[in-house]
Amino acid sequence: DQQVKQNSPSLSVQEGRISILNCDYTNSMFDYFLWYKKYPAEGPTFLISISSIKDKNEDGRFTVFLNKSAKHLSLHIVPSQPGDSAVYFCAASANSGGYQKVTFGIGTKLQVIP
């Protein structure tokens, strides 16, 4: 049961343009959402997060939007840079028995073309 879905396995974007990565979830108990970036041969690194009480969070070139009614979040990267080429994982967490249980999507591979 895929509770966090990233339906686009890959995405190619021209340098300088906007990259939009999408994520859908099914569990309405999720109350915190995160994006992680992963380069080859490295572990995932935290990128940006958003609480369910917000609909937008911005950090430099990265903005995450949350649409709770649609159970959808997206990550916008503007402008995209070649160094942004990586796999992006969407993650969601919910309180489960007194602790936060984190569920990851399968990732979207972003390629930014110079």
Partner 1 sequence: DSGVTQTPKHLITATGQRVTLRCSPRSGDLSVYWYQQSLDQGLQFLIQYYNGEERAKGNILERFSAQQFPDLHSELNLSSLELGDSALYFCASSVVEGRGEKLFFGSGTQLSVL
> Which residue's CB is nearer to partner 1, number 98 or number 114?
98
- Shortest Å distance, C-beta 35 to partner 1: 11
Residue 88 binds to partner 1 (criterion: CB under 8 A): no
Question: Exposure of 43 by Cβ count < 10 A (0-12 exposed, 13-18 middle, 19+ buried)?
Answer: exposed
Site for partner 1 in 6-45 (CB under 8 A): 6, 9, 31-34, 36, 41-45
| Nearest-5° Cα angle at 59, 57 to 65 | 30
CA atoms of 97 and 65, how far apart (whole Å) = 28
**Which C-beta is closer to partner 1: that of 14 or that of 100?**
100
Q: Strand locations in the chain, DSSP E?
A: 4-5, 10-14, 19-25, 32-38, 45-51, 56-59, 62-67, 72-77, 86-96, 99-104, 108-113
In the complex, least distance from residue 34 CB atom to partner 1, rounded to whole angstroms: 7
Q: In this chain, which stretch among 17-25, 63-71, 77-85, 102-110 interacts with partner 1, using CB under 8 A?
A: 102-110
User: Residue 80, interface with partner 1 (CB under 8 A)?
Assistant: no
Query: CA Rg, the chain, in Å?
Result: 14
Contact residues toward partner 1 (CB under 8 A) are: 6, 9, 31-34, 36, 41-46, 49, 51-53, 89, 91, 93, 96-97, 99-107
